[in-house]
Amino acid sequence: MGPGSLADLREGLEAGDLSAEFLALRSLDRMARLEPRLNATASLDRARTLAAARDADARLARGERSPVLGIPVVLKDNLNWKGAPVGNGSRIQRGYRAPYDATVVRRLLEAGAVPVAKANMDEFAMGSSGEHSASGPARNPWDLSRVPGGSSSGSVVAVAAGYAPLALGTDTGGSVRLPGSFCNVTALRPTYGALSRYGVTAMASSLDIVGPVAASARDLAAALSVMAGSDPLDATSVDLPGRERLAELRPRALKGLRIGLPRECFGEGIEEGVRGVLEAALRALEAEGAELVEVSLPHTRFAIDTYYLITTSEVSSNLARFDGVRFGARTPSETLDTMVAATRDEGFGMEAKRRILLGAFCLSRGYYEAFYLKAQKARTLILRDFTEAFGQVDVLATPVCPGTAFPLGDRTGDPLSMYLSDVFTVTPSLAALPALSMPAGFASGLPVGLQLIGPSLSDVSLLELAHAYQQITKHHTEAPRLDC
Ligand code: GLN
């Protein structure tokens, strides 16, 4: 099985040509053979997976139907699946199991999806490469010497390597889009609030969102149709307009569509191979009648600083709850204070510690105005850039990343160069906008993604646009050759 199409598997299941149990066994078998090389999973429970698959088969036999009934799915290890470990890529979570289901997980389970594994990830979703994980890095299935991208490394590798046609990740500043681009899968960061975050470990609460990953926009739409909808358990959640169009996604009309190209995103610093791929992708859209319009997002140059000031601040406060008292690992010590200090010292990895320290500094008296408050003001300016741009165009197109997947170990010693991988993905995050990464072609054998950004709550139209592109191109159907 290549990346596999959710739509095809669904057809096979409904026609009775496939069974959920067969698909689950095939996933488990593929993981057993490929995991020694890819390291994309964090945990799995074979018996539980097979029981869920048999249950789905019984429901199919009764004539029940849903877009994900019997479909294998992989869950990022920061999502609660009741009873299963929630590792968050961290030593500090050792031994912790979810006491309840995240809302997105519950909705998938109710619709009959079959979880086959929890996925490896950067510690507490902080990272761009997948290397900041307590269980070691996942590897890029297109080139095992390279990173898959992060922080939803395992979720994306799982889809690219054919473990499952659908995976859930989370996206704070690009964590499904960046690995999506590096591994040739389609990944959506929905509008902030369009998916419930109940039961999802918080990284930076003003930006976190669950992001589905699949081979195509059509498959993403099917998953979203099951999970979307506001949730009384998450006060930031909202209903998604046009949700009824998701189940049978239609391609968006390209004729006359105004696609904005922010000049700040196509300047210097983009690898030549990436530029060539993106130009070809844009020409393909133009050939179908789309109009390419140059626009400007002048505050883009502040985006990385703004994003890292705000997220480290929020991280330092969110991660304060990991104190050895309630969630997971504890390092015994004589007093409460020394126990907390020892637990955090042993439990957190380098990147988590770096961000906690930076965030505590940004929020401290005397620095709050200069850093945190200033960053909030810059965030407003970035948001206004988008509002202005959407006065001129329907949608924006940018690179996902200036380059392709980089070699393992290349950036771990240089946090700034790691942070700069996110230069194009953090802007829509700061503006709370929906953004999608889709396969656009290959540069020197490595996948390149194109990012599409839409106005707030235009997620469905964004998927329809990606679907239109995927009707006229075949890049998203290319799968890595993993002989096994
Ligand atoms: N790479 C970004 C970071 O390290 C994005 C993380 C994410 O989206 N969860 O913060």
**pLDDT tens column, 119-141:** 999 999 999 999 999 999 999 99
Q: Where are the beta strands (DSSP E) in 120-277?
A: 166-170, 186-189, 210-214, 258-262
Domain count, the chain: 1
Is 317 inside any structural domain? no
Separation of CA 193 and ligand 1 centre (Å): 17
Q: Does some domain include residue 58?
A: yes
The structure tokens listed for 344 are 């955090």
Task: Note whether residue 60 is domain-resident.
Answer: yes
Residue tagged active-site, from 19, 135, 151, 461 = 151
Say if CB 249 and CB 463 are below 8 A apart: yes
- What is d(CA 120, CA 37) in angstroms, rounded to the nearest whole number? 13
Phi, psi at 62, each rounded to 5°: -80, 0
Question: Residue 384 C-alpha to ligand 1 middle, in angstroms?
Answer: 23
At 1 the pLDDT is 40
Q: Rounded mean pLDDT of 413-418?
A: 91
Which uninterrupted H or E stretch holds 76? strand 72-76
| pLDDT for position 329 | 87
For residues 25 and 60, give the distance between their C-alpha atoms in angstroms, rounded to a whole number.
Answer: 17
Task: Copy the structure tokens of residue 473.
Answer: 């191109």
* Atom 5 of ligand 1: nearest residue by CA position: 173
- Span from the CA of 208 to the centroid of ligand 1 (angstroms): 9
pLDDT tens digits, one per residue of 303-315:
999 999 999 999 9
Q: What share of the chain is helix, strand, coil (3-state, %, to 5)?
A: 45, 15, 45
Q: What is the Cα–Cα distance from 204 to 196, expressed in whole angstroms?
A: 15
Nearest-atom index, ligand 1, CA of 128 = 1
User: How close is the Cα of 345 to the center of ligand 1, in Å?
Assistant: 22
Residue pair 459/188 in contact by the 8 Å Cβ criterion: yes
- Is 316 part of the annotated catalytic residue set? no
Cis status of the peptide bond prior to 66, with omega within 30 of 0? no
The catalytic residue among 152, 175, 225, 461 is: 175
Is 103 within the bounds of a domain?
Answer: yes
* CA atoms of 457 and 269, how far apart (whole Å): 31
Q: Is 175 a catalytic residue?
A: yes
Phi, psi of 43 (to 5 degrees): -160, 160
Res 452 pLDDT > 90: yes
Give the whole-angstrom CA distance, residue 137 versus residue 124: 14
pLDDT tens figures, 154-209 = 999 999 999 999 999 999 999 999 999 999 999 999 999 999 999 999 999 999 99
Q: Which helix (H) or strand (E) holds 199?
A: none
Residue 203 Cα: closest atom of ligand 1 = 9
Report d(CA 409, CA 387) in Å as an integer: 39
CA dihedral 296, 469, 419, 140 (to 10 degrees): -160
Q: Could you tell me if residue 124 is inside a domain?
A: yes
The structure tokens listed for 87 are 């590792």
| Atom number of ligand 1 nearest to Cα 307 | 10
Residue 209: closest CA among 389, 438, 430, 467: 430
- Nearest atom, ligand 1, residue 311 CA: 10
Distance CA 255, CA 286 (A): 9
Mean pLDDT value of segment 14-19? 97
How far apart, in whole angstroms, are the C-alpha atoms of residue 371 and residue 311? 12
* Nearest-CA residue for atom 10 of ligand 1: 126
CATH number of the CATH domain containing 60: 3.90.1300.10
Query: CA–CA separation, 155 vs 458, rounded Å?
Result: 24
Which of 76, 126, 400, 401 for mutating ligand 1's site (highest number of atoms within 8 Å of CB)?
126
295 CA to centre of ligand 1 in angstroms: 26
20 sits in the region (left: phi over 0; alpha: psi -120 to 50; else beta) called alpha
Full residue range of the structural domain in which residue 220 is found: 6-256
Residue predicted with more confidence, 3 or 421: 421
Mean pLDDT score, 75-103: 97
Separation CA 139–CA 143 (nearest Å): 8
Quote the ligand 1 centre to 115 CA distance (angstroms).
24
Residue 156, Cα to own-chain centre: how many angstroms?
Answer: 8
Residue 131 lies in a domain: yes
Q: Is residue 155 part of a domain?
A: yes
Count other Cβ atoms within 10 Å, centred on residue 111. Answer: 21
pLDDT, the chain, mean: 96
DSSP code of residue 170? E
Ligand 1 atom closest to Cα of residue 125? 9
Per-residue pLDDT at 448 exceeds 60: yes
Q: pLDDT class for 484, splitting at 50, 70, 90?
A: low
Tokens for 390, please give them: 């959407």
To the question of pTM greater than 0.85 for the whole model, the response is yes
State yes or no: pLDDT of 3 exceeds 60.
no
> Mean per-residue pLDDT for 276-293?
98
Q: CB under 6 Å to ligand 1: residues?
A: 125-128, 151, 170-175, 203, 311, 422
For residue 82, what are its two tokens? 């009741």
Task: Report whether pLDDT(4) > 70.
Answer: no
CA distances from 9 to 49, 209, 456 (A): 17, 27, 32
Most ligand 1 atoms within 8 A of CB, residue of 422, 423, 426 to mutate? 422
From the alpha carbon of 425, which atom of ligand 1 is closest?
Answer: 5
The pLDDT assigned to 266 comes to: 95
The contacts of residue 319 (CB under 8 Å, 6+ apart) are: 124, 348, 352, 356
228 CA to middle of ligand 1, Å? 23
DSSP symbols for 6-33 = HHHHHHHHHHTSS-HHHHHHHHHHHHHH
Tell me what pLDDT residue 84 has: 98
How far is residue 241 from each of residues 68, 219, 269, 292, measured CA to CA in Å?
A: 21, 18, 37, 26
State the burial class of residue 146 (Cβ atoms within 10 Å of its Cβ: 0-12, 13-18, 19+).
buried
Q: Whose CA is nearest to atom 4 of ligand 1?
A: 127
Catalytic residue among 27, 76, 181, 216: 76
Please report which confidence band the pLDDT of residue 435 belongs to, taking 50, 70 and 90 as the band edges. Answer: very high
Rg of the chain, C-alpha, whole Å: 21
42-78 residue pLDDT tens: 999 999 999 999 999 999 999 999 999 999 999 999 9
Catalogue the E-assigned strands of 222-326: 258-262, 291-295
Question: What is the identity of the amino acid at 59?
Answer: R
For 80, counting Cβ atoms within 10 Å of its Cβ (0-12 exposed, 13-18 middle, 19+ buried), the class is buried
pLDDT value at 2 more than 70 = no
> Is 145 among the residues known to form the active site?
no
Contact 189, 168 (CB under 8 A): no
Domain presence at residue 109: yes
